[in-house]
Amino acid sequence: MLDFDTGSSDLWVWSSEIAGAGRHRQDHRLYHPHLSTTAKKVDGSWKISYGDGSSASGDVWMDHVRVAGVHVHGQAVEVAQKLSNAFLTDGGNDGLLGLAFPKLNTVQPHRVATPIENMLDQRLINPPVFTCKLGHGSEQSFYSFGFIDRSVTRHEVVYHHVDNSRGFWQVDSTAYAVDGKVYRDRNNTAIIDTGTTLCLVHDDAVERIYHRINGAKYSNSRGGWIYPNHERLPEIQFAIGRTMYRLNEVDFHYSDAGEGFTFGGIQSRGDLHYDIFGDVFLKSLYVVFDQANLKIGVAQRDD
């Protein structure tokens, strides 16, 4: 099982080339490039680091790949040889499939085509989009390729322009609302990133949100804002393009902070110059990604 990440552009997998790979067979499916009759080693290496400090690196092979029933021929597979401890102790995935724009691919000396690039070039998906619905709690999530599931929500999918100059799914996000009061920042943008768990926004927004929750405070030990369990939460909306979208209250409750407090799902973006709309917010939305036409479709979900 691979993690799908709209914030990066590398397809990499656990492999038999990892030192001591045999120890991980029980927890992971390992790719054995030397045993694949269709795999061919190519020149190149890769190394990627993520925002949480985890990293992976290795060599590159070409092989045939199937993603959600879509067969991609001649896909570069980045074969892991070294993994940081965060990955070695995580039994939840066998690699990562990056769904951001090609610019972010880390293969050197020349980048390789991403799975979405190949799907588009080989005309494997029609319409030429992929979509994402992230589930609440134990609810099942899904991605679809070449199919828009109209049954997910009764709300209209509204399309917005994407700025891909940094390689991200980056959109204008020039307003937000707390309990119906709208605040504007005409230059603000956000990236749509399924590889980030929290919703990370600028400090003014964070403070206005938590000041509406009785007893909320910043916790140095937790590195973020916490609030008393069972306190009333404000209604929170963020703009994507010119449309406001509501964050589901259920997903604002991120984790138990102890002593009767909850760690909030919205936190500061720090020194970043853009917001990151991660899973906490995306669980409230159905998102259609259109790489060929540089646009993203978003619909509110009521579930």
**Dihedral sign from CA coordinates of 83, 86, 90, 93:** negative
Superfamily designation of domain 151-300: Acid Proteases (2.40.70.10)
Segment 107-148, tens digit of pLDDT: 999 999 999 999 999 999 999 999 999 998 778 899 999 999
Q: Which residues does residue 83 pair with via DSSP β-bridges, in sequence order? A: 56
With a cut of 50, which residues of the chain have pLDDT below it? none
Equal CATH topology for 3-124 and 151-300: yes
What are 85-93's contacts with CB under 8 Å, separation 24+?
86/52, 86/53, 86/54, 87/54, 87/56, 88/24, 91/27, 91/28, 92/1, 92/3, 93/1, 93/2, 93/3
DSSP string, 178-190: ETTEEEE-TT-EE
Segment 83-104, tens digit of pLDDT: 888 887 776 788 999 999 999 9
The pLDDT score that the predictor gives to residue 113 is 97
The pLDDT score that the predictor gives to residue 303 is 83
- Distance from C-alpha of 202 to C-alpha of 264, rounded to nearest angstrom: 15
The domains of the chain are located at 3-124, 151-300
The pLDDT score that the predictor gives to residue 219 is 97
The pLDDT score that the predictor gives to residue 23 is 66
The CATH class given to the 3-124 domain equals: mainly beta
- Distance from C-alpha of 249 to C-alpha of 85, rounded to nearest angstrom: 33
Active site residues: 5, 193
205: closest CA among 227, 173, 253? 173
The pLDDT score that the predictor gives to residue 16 is 84
What value, to the nearest 5°, has the Cα angle with vertex 293 and ends 170 and 177? 35
Q: DSSP label at 51? A: T
Instruction: Write out the H or E segment, with its range, that includes residue 208.
Output: helix 203-210
